[in-house]
A and B are shown apart, each in its own frame.
Chain A
Amino acid sequence: MKVIWNNNYSTIEWNFMKISFVIFWLNAIVTILSKNNFIAMPIGLLSFLQPNSIIDISFKLMCLITIMVAIYFYIMEKQMIWTTLFLFLISVLVFTIEESNGIFRRNELFSFIFFSQFLSYVFKAKNIDSNIQKNRVQFSVQVIAIGYTLSAISKLNVSGLNWVFDGKKMPLQIMKSYFYSYVNDGNNFFIQKGNEMIKTFNNNLYLVYFLLGFSLLLEFFAVISILNKKISFIYGLLLLVMHIGIFWVLDVAIKGIYIPMLIFMVNPLFLFWIILKKIKNTCMMVVGYRVQ
């Protein structure tokens, strides 16, 4: 338990975070490069391009090769200032390609986490703050936490506290979400499930208000998760419960948000490794006892 419940980040924890993070990031990048052949409505970094600019196969290959090299350097902890800076820039470029086709998957945290890690290595190199073990993770947590807080601020800014009670209009959003799933693969099951969910929703309106209010508070105060690792871990679990609830009701799971949160606040791969190690030790003890 002490291995998990402390306020220091070990190298092994960092390695598990890096590996899981880069796997999900690479998956998103490869998907975008394989599904987008041109830039329809250039925005952000690509706004200097003409609409309908073609992304050719040589560009995609060049991107993938350099990304694979950078990932090798990242995992092996080599040239981290340049590596994280490169990963940040390529991440911004590729995600902007997708956004320039009108698709917004909210992958901003993925990109900015690389930038925060870049800053942690710069701080170390410039002797500003040499606690790299902590900073490279805590800086990433800062990006995630402010993302949630900004989300709560947006809700308060657009709807005010009425956001909680506007929840009574949610059945239409529930229907929309389940129809999205229906048009994706043509399975009528989703329409049926959506209708059932709306019935459940209408029968438990006060519970819905409570859960929406709780989610809003949780998001608003997410910045406190930057205080230390223990708080971050507990907060990560609470946010996970919130995401499961959103998925259950709305059939919505935004990977670009919950995956970085899970990795840097809960670190499930590390927890899984600890459990495996425990099981292995227990088995060895049992076998050793029997041999004696």
Chain B
Amino acid sequence: MKKVIYKSSGFIIALTYFIGVMIFGEAHPFCKFSMYSSFADYSYVFYFTDNENKMIKCTDLNTTGTNLAHMYTTICEKNDFKHGHGMESDSVLHEIGKQMLNIIRINNLKLTHNNKKVKINRMYFYYEGKDIKCKKQEMYETIFK
């Protein structure tokens, strides 16, 4: 057995990782690294606004545009919400927004936006012919306490 492992030591770790990914799928530390495995013909970008509809930078709320997009997909998958291509109904968007803002709020207990109104919105980018169009939608608003 030792001899077999010795002879395969040049590739055994790569093989182990490959088998791990096949068995466990996307569970840390295993990953298929499937980012950009297809180029979707739509995109979502999420952003915050205040009570005057002025944009609040993501960095002010300790997050990033990429993190919000990840969070959105995870919440949809956890709740079995069908998502993509702008198919989400207003009530589904409202629920997802509520859960997203809840995570952001608890992770921002000591920030300056306490007692301020924070709204989460979505930009939906899609193709109309060769042109890229954008539809803005409000998702949910709350007061950070």
B71 touches A173 (CB 8 A): no
Q: Is A266 an interface residue (CB 8 A)?
A: no
Asked if A180 meets B62 with Cβ closer than 8 Å, knowing A37-B109, A138-B10, the reply is: no
Residues in chain B near residue A176, CB distance under 8 A = 43-45, 125
Asked if A184 meets B58 with Cβ closer than 8 Å, knowing A101-B71, A170-B39, A173-B43, the reply is: yes
CB distance from B9 to the nearest CB of A (A): 5
B65, B106, B123, most chain A CB atoms within 10 A? B65
CA distance A44 to B28 in the complex (A): 7
CB distance from B145 to the nearest CB of A (A): 15
B125 touches A96 (CB 8 A): no
> B99 — nearest CB in chain A belongs to which residue?
A40
A226 touches B10 (CB 8 A): yes
* Residues of chain A from 136 to 178 with CB closer than 8 A to chain B in the complex: 138-139, 142-143, 145-151, 153-155, 157-159, 163, 166-167, 169-173, 175-176
- Interface size class of chain B, counting residues whose CB lies under 8 Å from the partner chain: 35 or more
Q: Report how many A-B pairs have Cβ atoms within 8 Å.
A: 191
A selection of 11 A-B contacts at a CB cut-off of 8 Å is: A37-B107, A38-B107, A40-B103, A146-B18, A150-B21, A150-B32, A151-B32, A151-B37, A154-B33, A183-B48, A226-B10
A181 touches B29 (CB 8 A): no
Of B33, B39, B47, the contact of A173 (CB 8 Å cutoff): B39
Residues in chain A near residue B143, CB distance under 8 A = none
Residues in chain A near residue B13, CB distance under 8 A = 116, 119, 139, 142-143, 146
B2 touches A126 (CB 8 A): yes
Of A41, A143, A158, the contact of B74 (CB 8 Å cutoff): A41
> A95 — nearest CB in chain B belongs to which residue?
B28
A43 touches B18 (CB 8 A): no
Residues in chain B near residue A35, CB distance under 8 A = 62-63, 107
Residues in chain A near residue B135, CB distance under 8 A = none
CA distance A148 to B37 in the complex (A): 12
Residues in chain B near residue A182, CB distance under 8 A = 65
Of B6, B42, B44, the contact of A129 (CB 8 Å cutoff): B6
CA distance A199 to B66 in the complex (A): 23
Q: Mark B31-57, 1 if CB is under 8 A from A, else 0.
A: 111111111111111111000000101
CA distance A128 to B109 in the complex (A): 52
Residues in chain A near residue B132, CB distance under 8 A = 171-172, 175
Asked if A172 meets B103 with Cβ closer than 8 Å, knowing A108-B30, A157-B37, A181-B65, the reply is: no
18 extra interface residue pairs, beta carbon distance < 8 Å, beyond A146-B14, A159-B37, A184-B64: A37-B106, A37-B109, A38-B107, A44-B27, A92-B28, A106-B35, A115-B29, A127-B2, A150-B17, A158-B34, A172-B40, A173-B36, A173-B43, A179-B123, A183-B58, A184-B57, A226-B11, A226-B14
Of A159, A183, A257, the contact of B57 (CB 8 Å cutoff): A183
A-B complex: 5 closest residue pairs judged by Cβ atoms: A180-B65, A102-B74, A102-B71, A151-B33, A154-B34
Asked if A158 meets B109 with Cβ closer than 8 Å, knowing A128-B2, A183-B57, A183-B65, the reply is: no
